[in-house]
Amino acid sequence: MTDNGKPKYFSLMEQLRSDIMSGAIRPGEKLPSENELSQKYSLSRHTVRKALGILEQDGYVEAFHGRGTYCSENMRHIKNSKNIAVVTTYISDYIFPRLIQGMDNVLSESGYSIILKNTANSRQKEARCLEELLKKDIDGLIIEPSKSEMICKHRNLYQNLDKFEIPYVFIQGIYSEMRDKPHILMDDAQGGYLVTKYLLELGHKKIKGFFKADDMQGLERHKGYVKALQESGIAYDPDDVVWFHTEDRKVKPALMAKEMVQSGQLPDGIVCYNDQIAVQVMEELEKMGVRIPDDISITGYDNSLYAQRGSGITTIAHPQEKLGEMAAELILEKINGVPEEESKVERLIYPELIIRGSCRKIL
């Protein structure tokens, strides 16, 4: 027993735990050996071993055979760091700067800073980002999943976030096996429906679609395209759809647009996955002598700066800054323990059609 009436092993455990909690012993740092602790505190190795055993059982330390005892990485997340990690697929001049600005508007007001990372829509890079973030001091995570239509092969990293009680919010997509996790999405099926229906109302009958196959947005926008055709009594033809992936997104859409002209199979209109693809298709068609919208109508999605140049592209509004603000508000709710039923954040954003000069009525 020590002078305060506590067992010696318990007093040592409390001392080491205090050192860990105060930061004197940092996450990942090796603790002194049993012999060193025995000498420093004038205790038997059995007493030291008992104290370390309690710390290990409670998750403060991890013991590795032949290597020693280390402060657990879990301890990185026991204090309020006031850091929020934001992981997006890209950081570019498309929609992402305004998305991040919206997050910063809300988070900075609450005293939080952003740790920003991007994955280039690579699942391997997403896994590396998560591994790195799990070693940093973060209070929460906002993430746009990479290739969200594919099975997540690094589910264990999200499970580690759960274990460390680090809340996370998905935006613009979510893995099918994690739909129970907090997320904010666009109603992309409705967006795809609106642009297709608009072309049909203009008198277009032969409408092709260019959609991305490896993320949730692409499949949802395709669903809306199919629904609009079926409602108009037009049979869905899989040959009218061009599917592309992240890896060929900068090549395949233009290549297929060129092929349509060369084969004499130019449709009345094309519904594009987003504004970037719409621009790519339009530029290729114009090189081939096709006039837009005189010869063909084109629609985009996201209302990016691409869609606002010149006479503009008919598109779907993307509330970039608002989505960022919503995601930030939701992660703050999760950090503060707000019950799901008391959340004030909407989880589904309804689309709005923006009509510009890339479409015309067929007389």
What pLDDT does 79 receive?
63
Task: Look at residue 78 in the predicted model and tell me its pLDDT.
Answer: 63
Q: Does the pLDDT value for residue 245 go beyond 90?
A: yes
68-115 pLDDT tens trace: 999 987 777 666 789 999 999 988 767 888 999 999 999 999 999 999
Is residue 19 scored above 90 in pLDDT?
Answer: no
Contact 268, 361 (CB under 8 A): no
Region 170-178: mean pLDDT is 95
pTM: 0.81
* DSSP secondary structure letter of residue 221: H
Q: Are strands 68-71 and 207-212 parallel, antiparallel or unpaired?
A: unpaired
Q: How many other CB atoms are found less than 10 A from the CB of residue 233?
A: 7
Peptide bond into 267 cis (omega under 30): no
* Average pLDDT for the chain: 93
What are the residues facing 243 on neighbouring strands?
211
Task: Identify the band that residue 279 occupies on the pLDDT scale cut at 50, 70 and 90.
Answer: very high
pLDDT at 266 (0 to 100): 95
Tokens representing 275?
Answer: 């504004």
Confidence at 29, pLDDT banded by 50, 70, 90: very high
User: Mind listing the domains of the chain with CATH numbers?
Assistant: 8-76 (1.10.10.10), 83-186+320-349 (3.40.50.2300), 188-318 (3.40.50.2300)
